[in-house]
Amino acid sequence: MRKKPRVLIADDHPDLVKAIARVLVLDYDVVGVVADGSDVLEAAQRLRPDVIVLDLSLPNVNSFEACRQITQAEPDTKVIVFTAMDDPYLRQRALEAGASAFVCKVAGDCDLLATMNRLFAEPV
């Protein structure tokens, strides 16, 4: 049995965080939740997650810069930008900042789960 990938959720909407955690619990180990952008860098370093689900609009941080710092400091950590803004320009900026994926919240939790499963798929 393979080890579940460790997930840090960085989002300031408690109901959404609960919904995400419910969807992920079978295949992923949610090791932490932060609601403030200033906490995401510290939590990433302390918890060493395999993936961070990062809201683009966290208070007190530029999420693009946070993504850049996380992926530079921890190159094996994947960052999925999870945002309500389905904007091609923002998608491009997130990917340039080092994000592994960009998922629109409007698409729902199923797209997030499918994206995570694709990122952690066992090589054939």
> What tens digit of pLDDT does each residue of 3-19 get?
899 999 999 999 999 99
CA–CA gap between residue 89 and residue 44 (Å, rounded): 26
Residues 6 or more apart in contact with residue 24 via CB below 8 angstroms: 7, 30, 113, 116
Rounded-to-integer distance, Cα 28 and Cα 113, Å = 10
Domains in the chain with CATH codes:
9-119 (3.40.50.2300)
pLDDT digits (tens, 9 = 90+) for 65-118: 999 999 999 999 999 999 998 899 999 999 999 999 999 987 666 789 999 999
β-partners of residue 113 are none
Are the C-beta atoms of 5 and 30 separated by less than 8 Å?
no
- The model carries a pTM of 0.92
